[in-house]
Each structure stands twice: as C-alpha cells, then as structure tokens.
Structure 1
Amino acid sequence: MIVGLTGGIACGKSTVARMFEQLGCVIIDADQVAREVVAPGEEGLEAVVRRFGPSVLNEDGTLDRKSLGDLVFKEEKARQDLNAILHPLIRKRMNQKKEKALKDHPPLIIMDIPLLYESKQEQTVEAVIVVYVSPDEQLRRLMERDHLTYDDAKRRINSQWSIEEKKQRADYLVDNSGSLFETREQVESLFFKLVKEIGNDGIKS
C-alpha cells in the first residue's frame, strides 16, 4: 500500500515518518530527494543556478539553501519558478525509489511529501495521513527550530496550504501536539489499521 504523509511545516512530520520506519515501513522522503537532485553535478542544481544566479551557491559549489530560501519565500514568482524546476525531478526520482521498494514487499510504503496537496500528488497515493499541531504551536515551533522572526515564520507558513485545509482533505490524522508517547500510540494504531486493511501482517522484528 502506498501512503502519502504530509502536514504543515514544523508539525513533526519527520518524527512521525521515523516512527513508521521503526515499524518496518519504507520511507521515501521528498526532502531528502530534493537535496539529491540539487547535488553538485545534478541537472537540478544547474537549472537553479541558471534561474537564480551564482549567489545561491556556497564556495564549494554546493547549494546555499539559506540564500535560496530567502529568495523564494519573499517572492511568489521565485517560489513558483523553483517548484517548476524541482518538482518534476523530485517526482521522477521518488517514483524510481517507489518501484524499487515495491519489489521488497514492505508492509507500507510511506511517501513523505511536505507539499503533497500543493503539488497535486494526492492522486499518486492510496491514502493520505496529515500530521498536525495547532496554528499557534506550529508558529512557535518554526520560530524556535529555524531561528526565524515572527514575520519570516508567518511568511513560510502562509506559503503552504493551511493545516485546516490539509486536515479536511486527509484520510487519517496524527495529532502531534502532545508527548512523543502519545504520538507513537497514534502511529502504531494507524499502522496496524492500514496493515489489516491490506491483509499484510509483515512487521519488522
């Protein structure tokens, strides 16, 4: 079963993904793939530099993510251009990883995609899990995690669909506003529910 995992920025989606991985699921992480396609020598990096200029590179030729982030979160057109460059490359590589993973018959394949709805990828999975916290908690976590000002954090949050919009579209929800134990309980319950639905009881020992 192919399951999409998404949520708002700083809602703890990566934590939930690790919990699913510990249960034997294969995680295909869009953020990791996004880093791969802009590694030195990759066509993605070359395309980004053509669009945004050499100022988005570090001295060693790697992508300066902070400089690029500052550009794309302040200008809508820049963000759209970046997405147009990277999304096709990310989708292609994620599909390659998915096809490879299917050969091993894992209990679930989790497609960890932060912008799943924004990039219209919900049709590529069989179910969608949304990880969420309250908007106030999301803002607090993002400011703390990325050392952002209030305005910068709000700008990044507003560049995505709201948590409420994502929750309304979701098949399943994970409330990550409590303790790790409480989140893990929800993840385990959801895992067994999904595995039962597909008649597959293979669990990583």
Structure 2
Amino acid sequence: MLKVGLTGNIAAGKSAVAGVWRSMGATVVDADELSRRAVEPGTPAHDAIAREWGPWVLEEGGALDRAALRQIVFADPDARARLEAIVHPAVAALRDEHFRQAQARGEKIVVADIPLLFEVGMADEFDVVVLVDAPEEVRLARIVADRGLDEDEARRMIATQMPSELKKARADVVIRNAGTLGDLQDAARDVWRQLERRAGGGG
C-alpha cells in the first residue's frame, strides 16, 4: 500500500486537492478531523489540555474553545510545543488505525492530509510527499478573505509554518496553485493518476 503525505502551507489549496482526490476514489485521512476527535471531551488529550491551561480554554459544555487556545499557542512557541506534545501522539494513533483499516480493505493508496507534515518531522513516514504550494501574498489574501482575520494575524499564522521554499526542496511532488481553481483541479487529477501508476493501480 502506497502511503502518500499531502501537505501545504495555510491557504495554499491543499484541501481542494484532497477534495479532487476523494472524488476520484481516494481514501484521505484528514489530520484536522483526527485532531478534533483526539481532543473531544473525555479523551486523555482533552483532559491533559484542560489541566495545562485551565477552564479558560474550555467552552461552557466542556469542549475546547479553539479560538482561545489558538490565541495562546500562536503567541507563545513554548505553549504551542506543549500542545503539540499532547495532541500529536493521540492523532498518530487514530491515523495508524485508519491505515490498518485501509490495508485490510486491500486499498493500493492511502493519503494522509497533514498541514504540518514537515514541521512535525513526519515526511519520512510516507512513500510519497505531495506539497501544494502558492505564493505567500496569494495565501495572505485568501486567509484575510476566507477566514475573516486581519492581516497582522494572518501574517502571524503564516510565520508559524516552515517557509514553502524549504518544503519544496524536500517534497517528492509539488502542485503549484498560482492560477484558477480549474487549473489546480487539473493538476490534482494528473498527480493522482501518477500515484495510481506508481501503486500499480492503473490510470
């Protein structure tokens, strides 16, 4: 089974690529979805976060207040590292279970959609790493427009991630997203066919 790591800096278009691949039959394991599951009330990770930062990172019903937690970790690299040390192992366990299930179904390819794949040192865990990349100013404009954040906060979010030039040097495949959505979708389909050929799945 070919393990593919799909990544890209914030607002690069990675989710659009994942959507195209899903439409072509891919199993895509979404790290953000796993991250939400890993910290649901009653999980060990949720309890650890509540102990670390107290009730002000919890909503009234006990779920994590993601906005409050984001403000803390984006302003404090040490806090972000502590949060990652809690969340990443829990997410990894959920992802490994998805991989085992895909392999049991006989799937030839499984994709892990991981925004911070390089930052957390996971590149070597995959047979192929695909990076979706877009110019920084394009990504900045998308964050401001799509997420309702001001430009300063958007720049801080971009600054927390590894520069895309470093990621491009380490990725096996780079999908460039500097044109239209249709251009990106066409490129995504082309790369998926390449992955199918590599995995022996035709295409």
Q: Which position in structure 2 is the counterpart of 1:27?
A: 28
Kindly provide the amino acid, as one letter, of the partner of residue 154 in structure 1: R
How do 1:55-66 and structure 2 match up within 5 A?
A: 55-66=56-67
Matching residue of 1:17: 18
TM-score if structure 1 supplies the norm length?
Answer: 0.95
**1:105 shift after superposition:** 2.4
Is contact 1:25-1:107 (8 Å) kept? no
Q: 1:72: which partner in 2?
A: 73
Residue deviations 1:5-52, cap 9 Å, x none? 000011121111111111111000100000001111111111111111
Q: Which residue of 1 aligns with 2:125?
A: 124
1:135 aligns with 2:162: no
Contact 1:38 1:44 in 2 (8 A): yes
Which residue in 1 is equivalent to 2:173?
172
Taking the aligned partners of 1:197 and 1:100, their CA distance within structure 2 comes to 21
Q: Distance in 2 between matches of 1:200 and 1:125?
A: 18
In 1: Cα distance, 2:44 partner to 2:199 partner: 38
Could you tell which deviates more after superposition, 65-74 or 188-197? 188-197
**TM-score of the pair, normalised by structure 2:** 0.96
Q: For residue 4 of structure 1, what is the amino acid of its counterpart?
A: G
Following the alignment from structure 2 to structure 1, what is the Cα–Cα distance between the partners of residues 145 and 49?
A: 29
Report the equivalent of 1:49: 50
Amino acid aligned to 1:173: V
User: Residue 106 of structure 2 aligns with which residue?
Assistant: 105
Report if the CA contact (8 A) 1:24-1:106 is conserved: no
1:180 Cα deviation (Å)? 1.9
Supply the distance in 2 between the matched residues of 1:199 and 1:149 (Cα, whole angstroms).
Answer: 46
> In the alignment, what sits opposite 2:84?
83
Which runs of 5 or more residues in structure 2 are unaligned?
none
2:163 alignment partner in structure 1: 162
Give, in whole Å, the separation in 1 of the partners of 2:109 and 2:182: 22
The structural deviation recorded for 1:156 is: 1.0
Measure, in 2, the Cα distance between the counterparts of 1:180 and 1:102: 32
How far does residue 183 in structure 1 lie from its aligned partner after superposition? Answer: 1.0
RMSD across aligned positions (CA): 1.2
The DSSP-based 3-state class of the residue aligned with 1:4 is strand
Please list every run of at least 4 consecutive aligned residues from structure 1 whose deviation after the TM superposition is greater than 6 angstroms: none
Q: Is the CA contact 1:24–1:107 (under 8 Å) kept in the aligned structure 2?
A: no
Letter in 1 for 2:174: L
For residue 172 of structure 1, what is the amino acid of its counterpart? V
CA-CA distance at 1:112 after TM superposition: 0.4
Q: Percent identity?
A: 34
For residue 177 of structure 1, report the CA deviation from its aligned partner: 2.4
> In structure 2, what residue type is equivalent to 1:59?
E
C-alpha contact (below 8 Å) 1:132/1:174 kept by paired residues: yes
Q: 5+ residue gaps in structure 1?
A: none
Structure 1 position 176, deviation (Å)? 2.0
Distance 1:49 1:103 in 2: 36
Q: Which residue of 2 aligns with 1:197?
A: 198
* Residue 154 of structure 2 corresponds to residue 153 of structure 1: yes
Partner SS for 1:9: coil
Report if the CA contact (8 A) 2:16-2:185 is conserved.
no
